[in-house]
Chains A and B, each alone.
Chain A
Amino acid sequence: MDHHRRVDTEITTRVDGVTRTVLVDTRTTLLDALRERLGTTSPKKGCDHGQCGACTVLLDGRRVLACLTLAVTTTGKDVTTADGLAPDGHLHPVQQAFLDNDALQCGYCTPGQVCSAVGALDELANGHPSHAGDVTTDPQLTRAEIAERMSGNLCRCGTYTNIITAVEQAARA
């Protein structure tokens, strides 16, 4: 195997429904590739260490942290950001529920919250258990379940109560 350093690598990734090809340094995270190279700024950089959830996107439909994902690993994959959840400005039910319930203040954590909520509701619909329930039975849609499932998204403005209400509304929609 050859060992000259292949630092710049071309990746082809579908971002919010559009196939994008870009040359990235192997060290580039998906978050930096989206924000700095592709102009997709809805995922936010809060901590850059996996601790806040502001960078949450859906990768092949599942919520992940873009700040701990290396861009080179996403070639051939499908990335959806909060932006992509509202094609042509048509709000996703989760986004509408955030507006209806005042589930944001400054809005910095919101795109990550929204992507996380979409992923969390999908997991709940698929019967995935959480720490808030009994693993041997099917999970129920309770506020405690929602709070536990959204615990990876911090909000410095403290809008948690309304976020739970919004996610609950979206789940029942």
Chain B
Amino acid sequence: MRPFDYLAPTDAATAVRTVATNPTATYLAGGTNLVDHLKLGITHPDLLVDTAAITTAGITDHHGGLLIGAATRNSDIAADHRVRTRYPALAEALLSGASGQLRNMATAAGNPLQRTRCPYFQDATTPCNKRRPGSGCAAIGGHTRGHAILGASDHCVATHPSDMAVALTALDATLHILGPDGPRTLPCTDLHRLPGTDPTRDTVLEHGDLITAIELPHNPLARRSRYRKVRDRASYAFALVSVAAALETTDGIITDARLAFGGVAHKPWRAYRAEQALLGQPANDTTYRTAAEAELTDAQPLNGLDGGNSFKVPLLTRTVIATLRNLDQR
């Protein structure tokens, strides 16, 4: 591990200027992803700027919704009664991720910014365009079981690993950001990028941008929301596929819906096409299947040494159906 300075500033604007003007500086929050990457030699910052004293921990009522301070621990968000009753998909997504210890460390801002678990990205000895631009992609033609079926490119086929971000995407959450030019907001649906020709950038954030809070908007629909995750073991494993969903029905007809998928793309995948296919239709399995298939018409499963990931198409379809059916019966 390369030596680095450590700063624990107390003034956010100064900290943002420090990081924005130093390309080798990076923010440290819970450290559960960053410290691992320091050890793995994936990243080599010269300066860590601790966000503990420049961001707040805690959840406040905000315009009928909630404002979650960037430093709020994942476990504290999931335990909050307002989150559990008004945005259950978010609590469920958080609780389906990592372990009790990790959730006590991981923060609201760090979670959506965690990087891919692509095994080649995490192995500094293999080619990886995300880690080393132009070096190639070891996953293509390698092991692709955990990789993308939607929105990938010839440069990178990685998936985004965060469960929380999938729920935030479905629930129309907004990020509050402090940049060198001052504060701004950004919808969570616009945070993550597709890899295209530059997989080095996971998000649209500029270097130095500090996430200060996550806003959950007022929306009664979110009360009827769920997160369902499918993985190789019952606990403590990343998603093969996951679904965040909210559903509103009147007399058996779907009047409003939100759907987002995890484990299938370089970003949490908001399924707008499926949402459209649900509206005005009877709440039944046929409708749910048609909606999932509408979203997955462009799916491009990968071959791989391990058998590839074509299993994700039927698995995701069934997970969508099961999640929506369960919501309708709630």
Contacts and interface: CB of A to CB of B under 8 A. Distances in A.
Interface of A: 1, 3, 5-7, 9, 25-27, 29, 48-50, 53, 56, 62-65, 68-70, 72-73, 116, 119-120, 123, 126-131, 135-136, 147-153
Interface stretch (B31-39, B58-66, B258-266, B315-323): B31-39
B3 A5 contact: yes
Interface of B: 1, 3-8, 14, 18, 22, 28, 31-32, 35-36, 38-40, 46-48, 50, 52, 75, 78-79, 84-85, 88, 91-92, 95-96, 98-102, 104-105, 234-236
18 contacts: A3-B5, A26-B5, A26-B48, A53-B99, A53-B101, A64-B104, A64-B105, A65-B102, A68-B32, A70-B48, A73-B28, A116-B101, A123-B100, A130-B100, A131-B96, A131-B235, A147-B235, A150-B100
A70 B36 contact: no
Contacts, number: 119
Contacts of A65: 32, 101-102, 105
A62 B99 CA distance: 13
Contact of B84 (A68, A69, A129): A129
A25 B102 CA distance: 24
Considering the complex of A and B, which 8 residue pairs feature the smallest CB-CB distances, nearest first?
Answer: A152-B99, A151-B235, A135-B91, A128-B79, A151-B236, A26-B6, A131-B95, A135-B84
A129 B8 CA distance: 32
A64 B99 CA distance: 10
Nearest to A49: B36
A135 B4 contact: no
Nearest to B21: A1
A49 B32 CA distance: 9
